Chain A
Amino acid sequence: ETGVTQSPTHLIKTRGQQVTLRCSSQSGHNTVSWYQQALGQGPQFIFQYYREEENGRGNFPPRFSGLQFPNYSSELNVNALELDDSALYLCASSSSGGANEQYFGPGTRLTVT
């Protein structure tokens, strides 16, 4: 069974740039959720994708957007990067949408300078 994978592992961007983060869900899972984790904080829910559609969104501005593909992999796009966007971005996969048990990938560490 293949676990959740994310790429890249680390990324450094400049304020105002755009970034795309990628996630492959665990085998058998059709739902992907994205989280932002700042240092010393718990993960904050960004949004969830289920069957290629956004299925719930947290308190993040529209410059955070995403996609889910037919193979259930997903992308998180962030436009107009701000310094406060520096964080660990986590992807979690689960089955059948909703708030089922979620399994996290290793994360992408984004640094905005």
Chain B
Amino acid sequence: QKEVEQNSGPLSVPEGAIASLNCTYSDRGSQSFFWYRQYSGKSPELIMSIYSNGDKEDGRFTAQLNKASQYVSLLIRDSQPSDSATYLCAGAGGYQKVTFGTGTKLQVIP
């Protein structure tokens, strides 16, 4: 079982819609969670971090964490073609190791 699991996609949404990206994790010791965006051929870019149960909003992005269900999600409102990228979910426990999922490819259709 992978420690952090994501659907590889592609997830296709029309421009202006809400994109919902999901991630599950197996390590109950994980305390910190991160969402990164990675454009093709580029390095990952941190877009959200979340540490507590509930929602965290930053502009068009909302991260959601449910530790009881071991579930993390990222909502992107008013999706734009420029949001088309691979979104990486990552979790970290008490140690230094940050474990990444394989990423979900998002396609926003104009």
Are B101 and A42 in contact (CB-based, < 8 A)? yes
The interface size of chain A toward B, counting residues with CB under 8 Å, comes to 26
Q: Known: A41-B102, A42-B101, A43-B88. Contact between A101 and B93, CB under 8 A?
A: no
User: Residue B42 at the A interface, CB < 8 A?
Assistant: yes
Stretch at the interface among B10-18, B44-52, B62-70, B73-81: B44-52
Q: Known: A42-B88, A42-B103. Contact between A101 and B43, CB under 8 A?
A: no
User: Residue B25 at the A interface, CB < 8 A?
Assistant: no
Report the Cα distance A90→B45, complex, angstroms: 12
Contact residues in B for A103 (Cβ distance below 8 Å): 46
Interface size classification for chain B = 20 to 34
Partner of A45, one of B31, B99, B102: B99
* Interface 0/1 of A17-59, CB less than 8 Å to B: 0000000000000000101000011111100101000011010
CB-nearest residue of chain B to A56: B96
Partner of B100, one of A42, A55, A56: A42
| B21 vs chain A, min Cβ distance (A) | 14
User: Residue A72 at the B interface, CB < 8 A?
Assistant: no
Report the Cα distance A17→B90, complex, angstroms: 32
Partner of B43, one of A41, A48, A90, A100: A90
CB-nearest residue of chain A to B89: A42
User: Residue B22 at the A interface, CB < 8 A?
Assistant: no
Contact residues in B for A45 (Cβ distance below 8 Å): 97-99
Contact residues in B for A104 (Cβ distance below 8 Å): 36, 43-46
CB-nearest residue of chain A to B97: A45
Report the Cα distance A43→B49, complex, angstroms: 17
Q: Which residues of A are in contact with B by a Cβ distance under 8 Å?
A: 33, 35, 40-45, 48, 50, 55-56, 58, 88, 90, 97-107
